[in-house]
Amino acid sequence: MPLSAPRLWIVATPLGNPGDLSPRARAVLAEADLVLAEDTRRAAALFRQCGLPARRTLSFFDHNEEQRKDAVLRLLREGKSVALISDAGTPLLADPGYRLVRACREAGLAVSPLPGPSAPTAALSAAGLPPLPYSFLGFLPRDAAGRRALFGAFAQTPGSLVFFERKDRLKESLLLAAPILGPRQVAVCRELTKEHEEFILLRLENAAALPDGLLGEITVVVGPPESAARTPEAEVRQRLADALAQGDKPRAACRTVQEAVRGWNGKELYALLPHGPAGKA
């Protein structure tokens, strides 16, 4: 299809190395009537680094996607070509754009992917951990309770887990994950494709040994479960009873027990409490 054909292009951009911009991506970005970008300043820097002519750009991120959507649809109906990029890598993977793509599909407007760099696949390809199957969790929740719940929900999922985490919260999150996910291999993939690219391999249960002060963008690959065994329900019930006997409030007891057992999320634990649905039965 002609690169100038009116449609929404989902354009993958380099993770950090300008040489990774594909020829097709370069051509679309050079010809697009409008480029939607999470950060227009970073988009301008990308264009300079890749020797592309300056284009009309419009900020497009989580908090304005809904209000920008109708204007973009109007441009597409007028026969314009629009390119969507994220700060780095493949758009929509932990980045905004899903609602716009869905609206285009519902309106019968063309959407085409322009594949290329992707941090999750780059990490999986070079980490040395089993790449299939895998689950991509995106960015971890900011609060510890949200992270516990997420890890609990995927504790028994076969395959590797891939996620993004802030460097200043990385060790805390791995230490939190260890009792929930159980013994596993981990690869901390830092600054992918950049000059200081680094792969740190360790055991999840040894996360305390992770170096402090890591810099740059980080993608984490946690290997598959090494034991499919879920903590038996009888043991879980006893731990809950012990926590309550020691004076813990119900939700606090669930948090304490979730860190000590494997394969149980907070909702399941709460249901085992004496006042929960399971207790009533």
pLDDT tens-digit series, residues 216-229: 899 999 999 886 56
Q: Tell me how far apart the alpha carbons of residues 210 and 207 are, in angstroms, rounded to a whole number.
A: 5
- Residue 277 confidence (pLDDT) above 70: no
Kindly report the CATH number that applies to the domain delimited by 120-222: 3.30.950.10
pLDDT of residue 280: 41
Mean pLDDT over residues 90-111, rounded? 90
- Predicted confidence (pLDDT) at residue 23 exceeds the cutoff of 90: yes
pTM (predicted TM-score):
0.77
Give the model's confidence band at 266: pLDDT under 50 very low, under 70 low, under 90 confident, else very high: confident
For the chain, which residues make up each domain, given as ranges? 8-117, 120-222, 233-272
Distance CA(61)–CA(63), nearest Å, equals 6
Mean pLDDT of the chain: 89
- What's the one-letter identity of residue 159? G
> Residue 228: what pLDDT?
58
Ramachandran region, residue 247 (left: φ > 0; alpha: ψ -120 to 50; beta: rest): left
Q: In angstroms, what CA-CA distances link 198 with 131, 167, 191?
A: 18, 13, 7
Indicate the pLDDT class of residue 281, thresholds 50, 70 and 90: very low
pLDDT digits (tens, 9 = 90+) for 189-238: 999 999 999 999 999 999 999 988 888 899 999 999 886 567 888 888 98
Could you report the per-residue pLDDT of 148-190, keeping only the tens digit for each? 999 988 988 889 999 999 999 999 999 999 988 988 999 999 9
Which numeric CATH code is attached to 8-117?
3.40.1010.10
